[in-house]
Amino acid sequence: MANIKLYSDSLRTFYRRILPSLLRLRSIFHRPPTRTSQAIAILAHLLQTASNPPTDVSALESSTSVLERAISALESEVKALEIRSVPWEYSVWVFTFLVVIGVALEFWVIRHDWRDEMEEWALGHFGIIRLPGRPSLLKLRIEIASLVLITLGVAGEFAVGIEITSINGLLRGKSAELRSKNADLRSKSDQLLALVTQQAGDAILKAGLADERAAKLEKEAAKLRKKAEDETTARIQVEARVAWRRLTKDQISKLGEQLSPFVGEPTSLLFNVSDAEADSFGRDVGAALHAASWGVGDPWPVEEMRGGTAFGKAPPADTGVRIRSTKNKISHDAADALIKRLIELGFDAFRSEEIPYTQRMVEVMIERRPEGAQGQLKLKALKEHK
């Protein structure tokens, strides 16, 4: 969202700088006709009036101003949504902490049961008969507390995931509306440019300075085209940085054919439970593996918990697609083939540590989206860079 706001600000600044220049061109070229060219100017003006009805410059300027205010309001709404999502993101840590405490209490209960069983075994081994003792109230309370903490933690993480997904949906809607307003702003500015160009042409005919003033106007138009091309490039770059990873139907079909030599390969497809984009891309990858007749089901959500460290010491979270396999040669080759094909399609994919088993198994973990372009946009950028 910060990139989109920067793009919108740059676009508004661009048009604010261009409009005064256009109006100055209009004032320069709009001069009374000389006597020698008056008849020609009147005739040209009548022909243009019949074919192109005039447009009110003040109305276009007013429309542009309204669009700028609408864009400013949308940017404020986007910022409000970003602020709204911050406490929900921090609350995930609280609910995760509750789950950790609940699991720790479960370990205590397991140790307590093991100690009682060892004591009963020792008494039975030496032939000592002892009546059963009274059930531990402390153990019961700890078991109930652990279940309550785990339930609250999981339910809280689920609720936070739903809320964050909702906020992300609103942000995407506002971003689409913001792009639409920017397109309208460009359209109005192009109309104003066309009107000023028409009036400049009339003035050139009336003044008899067609060649010199046409050259100046062409030079100014070239600058405008260059700036418009720069704006389009900036917009495409912003969209590439935020677009979700997806596989097209053709890519899914082709990837299935390429991976078909490993028919029946048992595969576990995972993604982070709070990452909707990873879930979406995981389903595309799962469709390709299913087309290749691998043994794969729907993507399975998991919750990854990282150990606490000092601030600034924790390594960054993985991005892209993390793939690993057992030591089985077929599974090892299947994992390498999947990594190679995803990289060829422009997606970040890498191998992690092996699974310490010998039977066939491949694990595919869809991590969070890497920064920058992915897929065809990444391949296009690499080709242009070369």
What is the percent of the chain with per-residue pLDDT over 70, rounded to a whole number? 78
pLDDT of 55 reads: 54
SS (H, E, C) 7-68: HHHHHHHHHHHHHHHHHHHHHHHCCCCCCCCHHHHHHHHHHHHHHCCCCCHHHHHHHHHHHH
* pLDDT score, position 348: 95
pLDDT band for 256, please (50, 70, 90 cuts).
Answer: very high
277-317: per-residue pLDDT in tens?
A: 999 999 999 999 999 999 999 999 998 766 666 776 777 88
Q: Report the 10 Å Cβ neighbour count for 295.
A: 15
List CB contacts of 23: < 8 A, sequence separation 6 or more.
57, 196
Q: What is the pLDDT of residue 43?
A: 45
Give 48-90 pLDDT, tens digit per residue.
Answer: 543 444 456 677 777 778 878 888 887 888 888 778 778 887 7
**DSSP secondary-structure letter at 274?**
T
SS3 content of the chain, % helix, strand, coil (to 5): 70, 5, 25
| Greater model confidence, 124 or 273 | 273
Which of 188-192, 243-247, 263-267, 344-348 has the lowest average pLDDT?
A: 188-192
More confident residue, 344 or 170: 344
Mean pLDDT, range 334-349, rounded to an integer: 96
Higher per-residue pLDDT: 123 or 42: 123
For residue 30, the model assigns a pLDDT of 46
pLDDT at 11: 47
pLDDT at 200: 67
pLDDT exceeds cutoff 90 at 362: yes
Contact 25, 200 (CB under 8 A): yes
Domains of the chain, first to last: 2-92+156-242 (1.10.287), 249-305+316-385 (3.30.70.2390)
The model carries a pTM of: 0.43
Tokens 């809320």: give the residue. 163
The larger pLDDT score, comparing residue 8 to residue 368, is at 368
Task: For 144-203, write each residue's pLDDT tens digit.
Answer: 888 888 888 888 878 878 888 888 888 788 778 878 877 877 787 777 777 767 766 666
